[in-house]
Amino acid sequence: MLTPTDGEVVVSGENLRQLDDKRISAFRNRTIGFVFQFFNLPGYYTALDNVALPLVLAGVDLQARRERARGLLQEFGLADRNCRPRGFQA
């Protein structure tokens, strides 16, 4: 999220200092997962909605993003955190 003042940042063979804002955002969306130390997840979305949000932005279809989000919640022991869906269609 911060721009380095010197040197290079190379991730998966991509020099991130050479990418404009749009390309760096797309790179983060498809390559890196992170959670902010002081997170701001929308409270009106379920856990499934929050996990699926990057997939919505990436244009992944409804069924595929639901399956992926459910799998990730299960993998990290958070499947029980998913309440009934509300908000957008995860």
- Report how far residue 67's alpha carbon sits from residue 52's, in angstroms, rounded to the nearest whole number: 9
Percent of the chain with pLDDT over 70: 79
Let me know whether 20 and 44 are in one domain: no
Let me know whether 71 and 28 are in one domain: no
Beta strands in the chain (DSSP E): 10-11, 14-15
| pLDDT > 90? residue 64 | yes
**SS3 assignment, position 25:** helix
| pLDDT > 60? residue 36 | yes
- Report how far residue 6's alpha carbon sits from residue 79's, in angstroms, rounded to the nearest whole number: 42
Q: Give the number of domains in the chain.
A: 2
Per-residue confidence at 79, pLDDT binned at 50, 70, 90? confident
Average pLDDT over residues 62-83: 88
Strand partners for 11: 14
pLDDT at 88: 54
Supply the range of the domain harboring residue 15. Answer: 1-34
Percent of the chain with pLDDT over 90: 21
Let me know whether 11 and 46 are in one domain: no
Let me know whether 46 and 21 are in one domain: no
